[in-house]
Amino acid sequence: MSTLSQQAAASAAATTHATLSENAHTVLAKRYLRKGPDGKPVETPDQMFRRVARAIAQPEAEHGSDAAATEEQFYELLSGLRFFPNSPTFTGAARRWGNWRPALCCRSRTTWAGAATASFRRCATRR
């Protein structure tokens, strides 16, 4: 890792409540941090945690609850490395299509094949 990358990683880790390993920084940079036109990350892990927390809390405001308080709770969980939502949450939060709600709710008698078919139909309808 270059000196500049090490300084950036140290700075990002300092603002995150829990220390991220070098491998964690590499994975975040390659997969989850927003990237600029040049393909390089334009946000720090701490900014990513804030972005995801804000997106997760957004529905609270739509239902008359305190979204800022919910955002802060999720931010604390994320930055403390105590809560890890699925990958689409990290990659889709605060994006145009917001692909951060991929979970399926199925009745207990639904089969996996039936759930997959329902998921495919839902995706096809959305497009």
Segment 26-59, tens digit of pLDDT: 999 999 999 999 999 999 999 999 999 998 888 8
Residues in Cβ contact with 92 at an 8 Å cutoff, skipping those fewer than 6 apart:
98, 99, 100
- The CA–CA distances, whole Å, from 13 to 24, 88, 111 equal 11, 23, 43
- Positions in the chain whose pLDDT score sits under 50: 1-14, 100, 102-106, 108-109, 126-127
From CA 67, how far away is CA 73, in angstroms rounded?
Answer: 10
Q: Label residues 17-41 b or e (16+ Cβ within 10 Å = b).
A: eeebeeebbeebbeebbeeeeeeeb
Where along the chain do its domains lie?
3-102
DSSP element (H, E) containing 32: none
DSSP H helical segments within the chain, as ranges? 3-15, 22-27, 45-62, 67-79, 87-92, 112-126
Residue 44 has a pLDDT of 93
Which residue in this structure is represented by tokens 């105590």?
82
Residue 8 has a pLDDT of 45
From CA 9, how far away is CA 25, in angstroms rounded?
Answer: 7
- Taking the CA atoms of 47, 52, 54 and 55 in sequence, report the sign of the dihedral they define: positive
